[in-house]
Amino acid sequence: MSRTRLARWATPLLSVLIVLGIAAPAAAATFEQKVAVVTSFTQDSLSSYNSWLSARNNQGAWADYDLDWSTDLCSSSPDNPLGFDFKLSCARHDFGYRNNKRLGIFTSTVKARVDLAFYNDLKRKCATYNWAVRPACYSLAWTYYEAVKNFGSLAAVSQADLDKAAKMKADALAKTSSRAQR
If you average pLDDT over residues 18-33, what whole number do you get? Answer: 63
Instruction: Please check the confidence at residue 149 and state whether its pLDDT lies above 90.
Output: no
Q: 144-164 as b/e, with b when 16 or more CB fall inside 10 Å?
A: bbebbeeeeebebbeeebbee
Instruction: Please check the confidence at residue 53 and state whether its pLDDT lies above 70.
Output: yes
Cα angle vertex 114, ends 98, 122, to 5°? Answer: 110
pLDDT of 88-101, one tens digit each?
Answer: 999 999 999 999 99
With cut-offs at 50, 70 and 90, classify the pLDDT of residue 179.
low
Options 1.20.90.10, 1.25.40.10, 3.10.105.10, 1.20.1440.230; CATH for 3-181 is 1.20.90.10
The answer to whether residue 93 is catalytic is yes
Domain layout of the chain by residue ranges:
3-181
- Single out the catalytic residue among 92, 93, 134, 169: 93
Q: Which of 108, 94, 114 is nearest to 42 (CA)?
A: 114
With cut-offs at 50, 70 and 90, classify the pLDDT of residue 175.
confident
